[in-house]
Amino acid sequence: MARKKMSNLQVVKTQDDRKALRQRERRIKRRRRKELLTYIILIAMAICGTYLLLDSKTYGTVRKADSYAKDLSDRNNYVQFADGIVRYNHDGVVFLNKKNEEKWIQPTQLQTPVIVVKDDVFAVADSGGNSILVFTKNGLKGEIQTTLPIERIAVSNQGIVSAILKDETSPKIISYDAAGNILVEQQITIGNTGYPIALDLSDDGKVLAVSYLYTKGTQVQSRIGYYNFDTAGKEKADNKVTADTYEDMLIGEIFFMGNDRSVAVGDNGFEIYTGKDTPKQTKEVKVNQEIKSVFHSDSYFGFVLLNQEKSGYELRMYNQSGDTVFSKEIQGDYSHVKMDGDNIILYDGSKCCIYTTTGILKFKGDLGADAQEIFDAFGLNRYYVMSDNELRIVYLTK
């Protein structure tokens, strides 16, 4: 008689067997995790190496990746702002997206429009006229009418505007909110302070920096004044918290790098001021070359300098502390220079030169179009180039 097969019998594993099995499974998992991590590291190194290689190369030509054309009859000005581009002329201000499409249009009547841009707000003024318009990326925020001709303006991220108003004997500096209400009015006595020639507002609108040109007999001086509209300036006459005089420097430009650092640029050097409530001069640097152009961001600033003993120019960049980051000789004359991210972009017509903040020459060549504005596009070595009637996306090639 055949014996019946017992199919439900199982081998009973001891506790030691189960422990050994779990250890074996853990070793397999650890090995797989190590292998996966090794693959990830190798892939990341390859990607980073490729990126650094491409980013550190010098390119000489561009190719057009895409373009967005629009027929326009008037001569326009362009400037990068927020996630788009501002187009402006005497008849209006237009905000464009990155496909050259109009998001909104604000008609204007400005004889000589000038623009000042912050991260969140920009202002367009009629130089020599009496109108200032304040905008965000959503459109018109407010309009200001002045009683005297406008010479220069500054704007904060909140839409506060400070303006130098022209008067040969008694100029004014008036600060307005975006709706046109006067916040602070400074009556200038030329004989005491000098004539205001440059100004800027901190990003939060609480501190105003002004450079004055002062004549004392046959001697010409520069005077720097800081005005605090917050708590620190309430007990001060005219809100002035800082007043310095420079007898050997004519300061024609002053700008903030955030809220607590600013730079005053003269004809032979610059001064760095630090402090949020009461700015103090913390560094003075002499530059024994003619300053042709100035560029800056919140992290760096620099100059295009005229080489006195050689032909061409020098591009020199500094960090926030006023220490030199790099200095490069450049050939060619460029009418525009700007910082965008980690790029210093110089351009004139279709000629362009791009340096990184580490001093690497990324591009020198012809853009194939007369540029009105240039800025970074998404992707490696890609840029937007705005000409009169066309927005191009280009990428750098050999």
Contact 197, 252 (CB under 8 A): yes
CA pair distance 390, 344, nearest whole angstrom = 23
Domains and CATH numbers, the chain: 78-342 (2.120.10.30)
Structural tokens at position 31: 């090995």
Q: How many CB atoms lie within 10 A of CB 236?
A: 13
Contacts made by residues 335-339, CB under 8 angstroms, sequence distance 24+: 336/371, 337/293, 337/294, 337/295, 337/304, 338/295, 338/374, 339/295, 339/296, 339/297, 339/300
Q: With the C-alpha atoms ordered 42, 45, 49, 51, is the resulting torsion angle positive or negative?
A: positive
Residue 154, Cβ density class (10 Å: 0-12 exposed, 13-18 middle, ≥19 buried): buried
Residues linked to residue 397 through DSSP beta bridges, in sequence order: 61
Q: Is residue 33 helix, strand or coil? A: helix
For CA atoms 39, 42, 46, 47, give the dihedral sign: positive
This prediction has a pTM of 0.84
Question: Do the Cβ atoms of 311 and 293 come closer than 8 Å?
Answer: no
Q: Is 264 helix (H, G, I), strand (E, B) or coil?
A: strand
Tell me which amino acid residue 237 is.
Answer: A
CA–CA gap between residue 215 and residue 193 (Å, rounded): 9
Residue 17 φ then ψ, to 5°: -65, -45
At 394 the three-state DSSP class reads strand
SS3 content of the chain, % helix, strand, coil (to 5): 15, 50, 35
User: Residue-wise pLDDT tens for the chain (398 aa)?
Assistant: 455 555 555 555 566 667 777 777 787 888 888 877 777 777 766 656 555 555 568 999 999 999 999 888 778 999 999 999 999 999 999 999 999 999 999 999 999 999 999 999 999 999 999 999 999 999 999 999 999 999 999 999 999 999 999 987 889 999 999 999 999 998 788 888 899 999 999 999 999 999 999 988 888 999 999 999 998 988 888 899 999 999 988 999 999 998 999 999 999 999 999 999 999 999 999 998 999 999 999 999 999 999 877 888 999 999 999 999 999 999 889 999 999 999 999 999 999 999 999 999 999 999 999 999 999 999 889 999 999 889 999 999 97
